[in-house]
Amino acid sequence: MISGSLRAGSASTTLLQTVPEVVDPAAVEARMYFGLGGLPHFNPDDDFDPLHPAVAELRDMIGEADALLFSTPEYAGSLPGSFKNLLDWTVGDTRISDKPTAWINCAAPGRAEPTYATLRNVLNYTGAGIVEEACVRIPVSRAAIDTEAGTVSDPVAREGLAEAVEILARYAREARSE
């Protein structure tokens, strides 16, 4: 799971951190990537071995994952620059190719559509296997966040999140069995 936000208390990060609480841990091992702020600026001249350790960690995590789940806030009508930088580091690598991938848009209805259109566009460049049924909007208000636990407390949001993750996990299991 990868959040596109560096902000402490981000709804996107909080929603992803809720995943382990709403899925069967025997069926889904949810791992969160926290290295967004440590990635160097993307430069194609640096996209060769040996990679910067933060880039190698990102790519290894993607390679080891059976599926990917993203959530990102909108910033100035698009993806936050740090998150676009992360995505740029995935374009020249094949580990994301055909990997079941989805995203959760936790913005209020009518918000962040351009952000997720851009995310779809970049993921198409990487060859990610976008699982449409698992790409959902789950609005998360500030009141729905348990700041002490760092998770979402709203039962409707939690149920929607569990459903999306279960769909993504099903696609991952099917991809492994092929």
Q: What is the pTM (predicted TM-score) of this model?
A: 0.96
Amino acid identity of residue 58, one-letter, is L
Q: How high is the pLDDT of residue 174?
A: 94
The answer to whether the CB of 100 falls within 8 A of the CB of 165 is no
Token reading at 30: 């949810």
Q: Give the tokens for residue 151.
A: 């998770």
Tokens, residue 77: 């009508």
What pLDDT sits at residue 110? 86
Mean pLDDT by 10 residues, the chain (178 residues): 94 96 92 96 96 97 97 94 97 94 93 94 96 96 91 96 97 90
Rounded to whole angstroms, how far apart are CA atoms 11 and 31?
A: 17
Q: What is the residue extent of each domain of the chain?
A: 2-177
48 neighbors 92 (Cβ within 8 angstroms) = no
* 2-177: CATH class: alpha beta
The span from the CA of 3 to the CA of 1, in Å, is 7
CB-CB contact of 21 with 6 (8 Å): no
Question: What's the confidence (pLDDT) of residue 153?
Answer: 95
Q: Which residues contact 131 (CB under 8 A, 6 or more apart)?
A: 67, 100, 101, 102, 167, 168, 171
pLDDT at 9: 87
136-137 vs 129-130, strand pairing mode: unpaired
pLDDT at 58: 98
